[in-house]
Structure 1
Amino acid sequence: MLSQKAFMQFPASAVALLVGCLVWCSSGHAADAPFRAGAATANITPPLGEMVVGGWEPVPADEVHDELHVRAIVLDDGDTKLAIAICDNVGIPREVFDVAKAQVEATTGIPVKNQLYAATHTHSATTARGKNSMVKDEELSGYQIFLADRIVDAVRIANKRLEPARIGWGSVEEASELFNRRWYVVEEEQRRNPFGGVDEVRMNPSSSSTLIRPAGPVDPEVSYLALQALDGRPIAILGNYSLHYVGGVPSRVVSADYFAVFAEHLGGLLETETQYPPFVGILSNGTSGDVNNINFRDRSARYAPFEKMALVGQLIARRVHESLGEVQYQDWVKLGAQQSELTLKVRKPDAEMKAYLAGVVQRPEEEKPYHRHEKTYAARTATLSESPDTVDVPLQTLRIGDLGIAAVPFEVFTEIGLEIKDRCPLSDSFTIELAGGSYGYLPSPAQHELGGYETWMGTNRVQLDASEKIVERLMSMFDAIK
């Protein structure tokens, strides 16, 4: 050990270098621990005959247009590992993700709170939902078990493929494919709801509607996280875009929608077809609960099945690819994660609504209904009546350098996602919806005042100010890891 006298004889520059080294080492970034990344996919296509969801009634699959996948990345800063997996599914219950997370922790050591798993919200995939999203299923179905196992497989392979890597992130804007789907319309009949009332706005107004204006914004930002090997070989790109889905899939046909088109086309643009380990392109769903791909002011365009999803997925991939040259890659960034449980009240019908819906159920089939989906909502509200009074929902935040990722288990309205971006204390951020679970739509209190499909009890299932509580909790979680 150096004596004080000997230490004082060192040049000032050497002392500064020594102190800097001590501070750097104490930060938890060990000199011999490079930043690493790995990526993998696993096929989650169901057998034919499994029920496809996305419309009002599920139908059995009788054809597969393109395979469904879980796409995963694992990051490692030497002290902390993060796993992110995005699944081609409309919405996955918490219990499926929880089973996968427990198995991943047992096999890889990645803590549960450091694992973020989400659904893309394709409307042409097999259901993984249970009977009631407010109640955990005691036993998983065959497809739910298969899905959990395949998530584990993808993450384990990505973890096995960890290699020294460089990391960067960026964003571009592409507003041309985004349209808020909630509109003020003139016709009162267009604004009827299944509870005998009239709303202020209509979701997906018909072509005969007299449009006034959309009821909310869109978010044109395409955010992405890029990973490459030290020799420049692409490892993975995780994108994020706030577009519900595109569709154009015939009934009973399985498809991953534009999310998979993005992944495949981006790999082609990067010329990764023959590389090993394979490049993994991923597109997560942002906050798109009230945004879709329908231009309600001009519906003249016509597309063949699957054509529009291909156009949209390829466009977003091109936009990301064009901007990759601007990414500032780093050799190491700090990783962090927070997870929290938020207790929310479950919405329940009051006596007046119960009485009205009881009349709906008893109404003769030949009698014209007030609203064509009123019997569907009579059943949905009855399910909520039998649900617990509260539900605990999981929230997550990840830190990847100065990039923040929020994870919310709802179909989140775009205005809420924009607020999260605006308030996040990190320099860049985006939100992945339907992450950690699937609890229905999440409108803001202001949007609840307007009514419309996404706000109806049974479509939305939790207290009306839930979005405010979620945003506040996320901000405190970001503060804890910034």
Structure 2
Amino acid sequence: MRTRAFSFLLCVLVLSATTGGAAAGEQSPEPRLRAGAATSNVTPALGGDIVGGWAPIPATYVHDELHARCLVLDDGQGRLAIVVVDSLGVPRHVVEHAKALAVRHTGIPAERILVSATHTHSATSALGSRWSPAEYEQAPALDPYQQFLATRIADGIRRAVANLRPAQVAWGRGAVPDEVFNRRWHMKPGPHLRNPFGGTDRVQMNPAVGSPDLVEPAGPTDPEVAFLAVRGTDGRPIAVLANYSLHYVGGVPQGHVSADYFGVFARTLARLLGEDRADSTFVAMLSNGTSGDINNVDVRGGQPKLPPYERMERVATKVAAEVYKGLQLLPWRDQVTLASAQRVVTLRRRPVTPDLQAWARAALARPADAPAHPRERIYAERIQGSGGAPPTLDVVLQAHRIGDLAIATFPFEVFAEIGLEIKARTPFPQTFTTSLANGSEGYLPTERQHALGGYETWLGTNRVQLDAARLMTNTLLGMLADLKAQATSAGAR
């Protein structure tokens, strides 16, 4: 019996060495990539405020549902979760609650979870009492919709983890230059350059189409459509994450809830890939690039007037077609290294001076139907609502690496020239920037743009130190350099 048992054991060891096990001195096979994707419906009940315009409008009709679209990647060493939410903006404390739920259930570290908002202007707000002193409490309570949204974001990440399967990735870029326009214009002198605070700007946001006072745009555009594609080893698409620097499109009737062109892109790309079936688990997502000063309106004129929703359909179809075209000839990889970096940066808030406080009191004392400027009362209320805020604001910056593709993030509406600088100076072969990520802190102009004035620079639209863009850009470039150095030293893929 002992001889028979010994012979059986010897056979097992020989078979293991020759067919399945690693012989002495051999390395075990490198881990292959896995990926999973899922969507969560985050459409709120009717009646909540849509805050995409100057004044809140109650939601009365849902044209198309809002979603949190989720992708999870696993390289065998760790996981990375990316979520794109159909929302004007999601505050940091709501994002952090969602991440805490996801961490509890999946173990993915919070610094490896990226949550960004698309910035659709036709979604019920997740911002809460944005201009009240409650905003500045250490741990503000979540309102019912914020609680629902955070839970559904976490649910989407959990479901994407449950869908993990062997996968391959590819990345690339195209361009759609004819749908992006810088919305800030140098103008001839005139009353159109007055601001709510009694001063005069040098540029105007969204001047009248065909205005004889137009001089030239105040900044560039970024026409690039960047994308990360994920498919199963059977060739079936799992997800596509794209990035385009266009604020939103609009053309939505009053009171309508819509994901704007971001949602149309997701549906259109699914159709192009043959994944528009009821049983498909494919997820397409479009994140907002650096579009703080970019829109879809050519103020020089010539654009046709279109019915509601038609323009966003046209824009999304072009962007989806560009991604689809780019997917055809890409090299696919089933081994890539994932890496992430996160830093919390402390910024100074722009001070609400005694002079500004006096201006706000005087503005609000005037009859509501006789303001000195059409936006005077709005900004006076914002100045008053910001009273009691601490002098600093902590913001989260992230950088993520997926092979030779890098993603940088800001919790702001970032100007195009900032994103272009990061693309020009990145150490990676390809990098794109996601705005309104891990928070929603208003506009982020450069110092040059601050000097020109205009809506995006007004206190109440922008809230942080004037050189914040430079400080954060340099920080992110340093984070990207660190990720690149780590990859080089480790011989990562």
TM-score (norm 1): 0.92
Moved more, 106-115 or 131-140: 131-140
Distance in structure 1 (CA, Å) of the matches to 2:438 and 2:393: 14
Distance in structure 2 (CA, Å) of the matches to 1:234 and 1:156: 20
- Counterpart secondary structure, 1:271: coil
Aligned partner of 1:103 in structure 2 is 101
1:314 to 2:336 alignment: no
Distance in structure 2 (CA, Å) of the matches to 1:314 and 1:102: 36
Deviation at 1:384, TM superposition (A): 2.4
In structure 2, which of residues 264, 268, 284 is the aligned counterpart of residue 265 of structure 1? 268
In structure 2, which of residues 230, 236, 259 is the aligned counterpart of residue 256 of structure 1? 259
In structure 1, which of residues 144, 147, 150 is the aligned counterpart of residue 146 of structure 2? 144
Residue 237 of structure 1 aligns with an amino acid whose one-letter code is V
Contact persistence 2:359–2:380 (CA under 8 A): no
In structure 2, which of residues 341, 345, 349 is the aligned counterpart of residue 346 of structure 1? 349
Residue 52 of structure 2 aligns with an amino acid whose one-letter code is G
Aligned partner of 1:135 in structure 2 is 136
Moved more, 377-386 or 311-320: 377-386
Aligned partner of 1:76 in structure 2 is 74
Distance in structure 2 (CA, Å) of the matches to 1:330 and 1:316: 24
Aligned partner of 1:333 in structure 2 is 336
Give 5+ residue unaligned stretches, structure 1: 1-17
- Counterpart secondary structure, 2:311: helix
Distance in structure 2 (CA, Å) of the matches to 1:174 and 1:300: 16
Aligned partner of 1:470 in structure 2 is 472
Deviation at 1:385, TM superposition (A): 2.9
Contact persistence 1:187–1:209 (CA under 8 A): no
Contact persistence 2:360–2:384 (CA under 8 A): no
In structure 2, which of residues 420, 438, 441 is the aligned counterpart of residue 439 of structure 1? 441
Distance in structure 1 (CA, Å) of the matches to 2:238 and 2:130: 38
Distance in structure 2 (CA, Å) of the matches to 1:56 and 1:291: 18
Aligned partner of 2:195 in structure 1 is 193
Distance in structure 1 (CA, Å) of the matches to 2:323 and 2:236: 17
1:480 to 2:478 alignment: no
Distance in structure 1 (CA, Å) of the matches to 2:347 and 2:438: 16
Deviation at 1:206, TM superposition (A): 1.6
CA separation of 1:366 and 1:229: change in aligned 2, threshold 3 A: closer
- Counterpart secondary structure, 2:275: coil
Distance in structure 1 (CA, Å) of the matches to 2:122 and 2:369: 32
Deviation at 1:349, TM superposition (A): 2.5
1:234 to 2:232 alignment: no
1:115 to 2:113 alignment: yes
Distance in structure 2 (CA, Å) of the matches to 1:364 and 1:143: 34
1:42 to 2:44 alignment: no
Distance in structure 2 (CA, Å) of the matches to 1:61 and 1:216: 34
Deviation at 1:432, TM superposition (A): 0.5
Distance in structure 2 (CA, Å) of the matches to 1:463 and 1:77: 39
Aligned partner of 1:15 in structure 2 is none
Distance in structure 1 (CA, Å) of the matches to 2:302 and 2:251: 14
Deviation at 1:276, TM superposition (A): 4.8
Distance in structure 1 (CA, Å) of the matches to 2:278 and 2:343: 39
- Counterpart secondary structure, 1:326: coil
Equivalences for 1:150-165 in 2 at 5 Å?
A: 150-165=152-167
Aligned partner of 2:396 in structure 1 is 394
Distance in structure 1 (CA, Å) of the matches to 2:290 and 2:320: 19
Contact persistence 1:185–1:201 (CA under 8 A): yes
Contact persistence 1:399–1:481 (CA under 8 A): yes
Deviation at 1:408, TM superposition (A): 0.7
In structure 1, which of residues 166, 169, 190 is the aligned counterpart of residue 168 of structure 2? 166
Contact persistence 1:248–1:305 (CA under 8 A): yes
Aligned partner of 2:379 in structure 1 is 377
- Counterpart secondary structure, 1:320: helix
Aligned partner of 1:220 in structure 2 is 223
What is the RMSD of the two structures over their aligned residues, measured on CA atoms? 1.7
Deviation at 1:277, TM superposition (A): 5.0
In structure 1, which of residues 361, 364, 369 is the aligned counterpart of residue 364 of structure 2? 361
1:56 to 2:54 alignment: yes
Deviation at 1:364, TM superposition (A): 2.8
Contact persistence 2:66–2:86 (CA under 8 A): yes
- Counterpart secondary structure, 1:385: coil
1:412 to 2:414 alignment: yes
Deviation at 1:274, TM superposition (A): 3.1
Q: Percent identity?
A: 49
Distance in structure 2 (CA, Å) of the matches to 1:67 and 1:274: 17
Residue 47 of structure 1 aligns with an amino acid whose one-letter code is A
Distance in structure 2 (CA, Å) of the matches to 1:239 and 1:198: 39
Contact persistence 1:190–1:209 (CA under 8 A): no
Contact persistence 1:188–1:198 (CA under 8 A): no
TM-score (norm 2): 0.90
Deviation at 1:371, TM superposition (A): 1.2
Aligned partner of 1:286 in structure 2 is 289
- Counterpart secondary structure, 1:195: coil
Contact persistence 1:360–1:378 (CA under 8 A): yes
Residue 357 of structure 1 aligns with an amino acid whose one-letter code is A
Deviation at 1:460, TM superposition (A): 0.1
Distance in structure 2 (CA, Å) of the matches to 1:283 and 1:300: 24
Give 5+ residue unaligned stretches, structure 2: 1-21, 485-493
Contact persistence 1:118–1:434 (CA under 8 A): yes
- Counterpart secondary structure, 1:325: coil
Q: Any idea what the Cα deviations from partners look like across 1:274-333, whole Å, max 9, x if unmatched?
A: 375511010000000000000100155101001100111111001111121121111110
CA separation of 1:198 and 1:299: change in aligned 2, threshold 3 A: farther
Residue 309 of structure 1 aligns with an amino acid whose one-letter code is M
Aligned partner of 2:427 in structure 1 is 425
Deviation at 1:74, TM superposition (A): 0.2
Residue 355 of structure 2 aligns with an amino acid whose one-letter code is E
Contact persistence 2:356–2:383 (CA under 8 A): no
- Give the number of equivalent residue pairs: 457
